[in-house]
Amino acid sequence: MTTDQLSIDQAPPAVQLAVDLIMLLEQHQLDPAIVLAALPIVTRDFLRKLQNQQQAQQ
Protein backbone atom coordinates (compact mmCIF):
# COMPACT_ATOMS: atom_id res chain seq x y z
CA MET A 1 0.00 0.00 0.00
CA THR A 2 1.39 3.40 -0.97
CA THR A 3 1.54 6.54 1.13
CA ASP A 4 -1.06 8.12 -1.19
CA GLN A 5 -3.40 5.17 -0.61
CA LEU A 6 -3.00 5.52 3.15
CA SER A 7 -3.82 9.23 2.87
CA ILE A 8 -6.96 8.48 0.88
CA ASP A 9 -8.01 5.76 3.33
CA GLN A 10 -7.75 8.29 6.14
CA ALA A 11 -9.52 11.07 4.23
CA PRO A 12 -13.11 12.04 4.97
CA PRO A 13 -15.75 9.98 3.13
CA ALA A 14 -16.57 12.85 0.75
CA VAL A 15 -12.93 13.06 -0.36
CA GLN A 16 -12.76 9.29 -0.81
CA LEU A 17 -15.88 9.38 -2.97
CA ALA A 18 -14.56 12.31 -5.00
CA VAL A 19 -11.35 10.41 -5.73
CA ASP A 20 -13.34 7.32 -6.75
CA LEU A 21 -15.59 9.37 -9.03
CA ILE A 22 -12.64 11.13 -10.66
CA MET A 23 -10.96 7.79 -11.30
CA LEU A 24 -14.16 6.34 -12.76
CA LEU A 25 -14.70 9.30 -15.06
CA GLU A 26 -11.07 9.27 -16.19
CA GLN A 27 -11.18 5.53 -16.89
CA HIS A 28 -14.09 6.12 -19.25
CA GLN A 29 -12.09 8.84 -21.01
CA LEU A 30 -15.04 11.20 -21.02
CA ASP A 31 -14.77 14.68 -22.48
CA PRO A 32 -14.21 17.08 -19.55
CA ALA A 33 -16.80 19.50 -20.98
CA ILE A 34 -19.44 16.76 -20.91
CA VAL A 35 -18.50 15.77 -17.36
CA LEU A 36 -18.73 19.38 -16.20
CA ALA A 37 -22.10 19.80 -17.93
CA ALA A 38 -23.40 16.65 -16.22
CA LEU A 39 -22.27 17.56 -12.70
CA PRO A 40 -24.95 20.24 -12.08
CA ILE A 41 -27.59 17.71 -13.14
CA VAL A 42 -26.19 15.17 -10.68
CA THR A 43 -26.03 17.85 -7.99
CA ARG A 44 -29.68 18.81 -8.48
CA ASP A 45 -30.72 15.16 -8.34
CA PHE A 46 -28.88 14.49 -5.09
CA LEU A 47 -30.05 17.75 -3.53
CA ARG A 48 -33.63 16.64 -4.25
CA LYS A 49 -32.92 13.23 -2.71
CA LEU A 50 -31.41 14.88 0.36
CA GLN A 51 -34.43 17.15 0.76
CA ASN A 52 -36.79 14.18 0.46
CA GLN A 53 -34.74 12.27 3.02
CA GLN A 54 -34.78 15.20 5.44
CA GLN A 55 -38.53 15.65 5.03
CA ALA A 56 -39.11 11.96 5.70
CA GLN A 57 -37.17 12.25 8.95
CA GLN A 58 -39.36 15.11 10.26
Give residue 4's Cα distance to chain centre: 19
Domain-by-domain residue ranges, the chain?
3-57
Cβ neighbours of residue 35 under 8 Å, at least 6 residues apart?
A: 25
pLDDT of residue 35: 97
| Mean pLDDT across the chain | 92
25 and 35 Cβ atoms separated by less than 8 Å:
yes
pTM for the full predicted model: 0.76
Pinpoint the alpha helices (H) of 1-58: 3-10, 13-27, 32-57
Check pLDDT > 90 for residue 25.
Answer: yes
The tens digit of pLDDT for each residue in 30-47 reads 999 999 999 999 999 999
